[in-house]
Amino acid sequence: MGTYLEREIRHLFGKAVHGYNLIEDGDKIAVAFSGGKDSVLLLHLLRERLSYIPIRYELFAIYVDLGFDPKMAEMVDSFLKSTNVSYEIIMTDIGIRAHSRENRENPCFLCSRLRRKAIFKAVWDRGYRKIAFGHNQDDLIETFFLNVCYSGQIATMLPKQEFFRGELTVIRPLSLMPASKIKKFVKEKGLSFMENPCPSAGAGKRALIKELLSKLYKTNSKIRGNIFRAMSNINLEYLLPSLNGGAIDARTDKQ
């Protein structure tokens, strides 16, 4: 049966898969693998699930090396070989370019966009039409606040999201899992993972939002759950309408 934490992790995983209709019989699923805790757990659970469910699906792992540390690709290659899952490693300089002087954009934004583009192309070329990302509950909540604070819109990542008019579908089976539970479970199971070599890791706008939320969570244990539920419990009658059909600039009270 496993420990209480193991049962909880499996329950949250299954609840997301069934509740959001993420996986169907016969799916060919490409797993966006980064080597971190989230993607290691995602691949572990997807493989494990095949041993006790009645449906079948095919797995393929894809790793996009960002060019920070040449040893990363070697470690990922060694790890993925041990899983007996087909995989591909794509070598790039995306991370280096994103942090270069020529880049005027946020390095995290550009790096993420280029990495996702590389994943989409590789997945498409191989004939896969569904991609599993390891974003967890914290990622969804933080993205919501990033959009509110820095983009002026109410939006977040979706557990199931279609791209290119439904030609590709992104799924996020860890959407219901808090990062803290993932960290504890990975440690409990002794799952190997790699530290993020990116020089911007733990910095930037997301890190600031993460810190603010962490302080907020400590004041009331129900806040995290309430925020997550609020993202799917929207009362449109009590949201501001646009003024004269246009957006309002809160700094100037002008359109």
Residue 239, in any domain of the structure: no
217 CB burial (10 A radius; 0-12, 13-18, 19+): middle
pLDDT at 249: 59
Cα–Cα distance for residue pair 130/120, rounded to 1 Å: 10
Residue 224, in any domain of the structure: no
* Count of H-run helices and E-run strands, the chain: 9, 6
Residue 117, in any domain of the structure: yes
pLDDT (tens place) for every residue of the chain, 255 residues total = 679 999 999 999 999 999 999 999 999 999 999 999 999 999 999 999 999 999 999 999 999 999 888 889 999 999 999 999 999 999 998 888 878 777 766 777 888 888 999 999 999 999 999 999 999 999 999 999 999 999 999 999 999 999 999 899 999 999 999 999 999 999 999 998 988 887 777 778 899 999 999 999 999 999 999 999 999 999 999 998 888 755 555 555 444
pLDDT at 245: 59
Residue 21, in any domain of the structure: yes
216-222: which pairs have CB atoms within 8 A and are 24 or more residues apart? Answer: none
C-alpha dist (Å) from residue 255 to 25, 239, 241: 50, 18, 13
Residue 210, in any domain of the structure: no
Full domain range(s) for residue 38: 4-201
**Which of 127, 140, 135, 146 minimizes the C-alpha distance to 34?**
135
pTM exceeds 0.75 for this model = yes
Domain count, the chain: 1
Cα–Cα distance for residue pair 117/123, rounded to 1 Å: 10
Residue 133, in any domain of the structure: yes
pLDDT at 255: 44
CB 186 within 8 A of CB 41: yes
Residue 78, in any domain of the structure: yes
Cα–Cα distance for residue pair 37/195, rounded to 1 Å: 8
pLDDT at 180: 95
Cα–Cα distance for residue pair 138/126, rounded to 1 Å: 31
CATH of the domain at 138: 3.40.50.620
Cα–Cα distance for residue pair 117/111, rounded to 1 Å: 10
Residue 241, in any domain of the structure: no
Which tokens is 52 given?
A: 């006790």
